[in-house]
Amino acid sequence: MIFNLFWNYIINNMSKVIYNKIIAKLERLDEYLRYLNEIKKISKKSFINDFHFYGLAERYLQLAIEATMDIGKLLILAQNFKKPEDNEDIFIVLCDNKVISQKLAHNFLGIGNFRNILVHDYEKINRIIVHEKLQKNLTDFKEFRKAVLKYLKKYL
């Protein structure tokens, strides 16, 4: 009896800690998306030719990707979902457990590799591709955020 009460106390407090961490990560993601939306307004020519713009875009895209993966890992931990094999698998596990849609999971495939390029292969980064990601993929982050909040309200 005492063990069960103690165990429930630990689980409930762990859930609260994880929930708070997820909310904090979502707030950071919002911040990064605000910055990226400002950079998104820059013309393609200015973006490609000015290190200020593409440098900021690369950094905030990296941070947004990392926040998204961290949120996914925290949800997987909190709900005791199957452990992802790698960063790509995070989104598949979330999809399999109805946290995000199949379309959104598909859109996030490759994001872990893009993050690795931003972090490790920065000499090889094609500025045009970064500009395209900036123009086309910010809505995926917003959809992810929306899906996570919907899930949190329902289950945590």
Helix axes 2-40, 51-79, angle to 10 degrees: 160
Coil, strand or helix at 1: coil
Per-residue pLDDT of 5-45, as tens digits, reads 544 444 455 578 888 999 999 999 999 999 999 999 999 99
Helix axes 51-79, 138-155, angle to 10 degrees: 20
Residue of 133 and 121 predicted with greater confidence? 133
| Cβ neighbours of residue 55 closer than 8 Å, sequence gap 6 or more | none
| Cβ neighbours of residue 115 closer than 8 Å, sequence gap 6 or more | 62, 65, 66, 69, 87
Which residues form the domain of 46? 2-155
Return the closest-CA partner of residue 87 out of 119, 57, 110, 54. Answer: 110
Please report the pLDDT score of residue 121 as a whole number: 74
Judge contact between 72 and 94, C-beta under 8 A. Answer: yes
Query: Structural domain tally of the chain?
Result: 1
The CATH number for 49's domain is 1.20.120.580
| Single pTM value for the model | 0.87
Average pLDDT score, the chain: 88
Per-residue pLDDT of 60-77, as tens digits, reads 999 999 999 999 999 999
Lowest mean pLDDT among 35-39, 106-110, 117-121, 127-131: 117-121
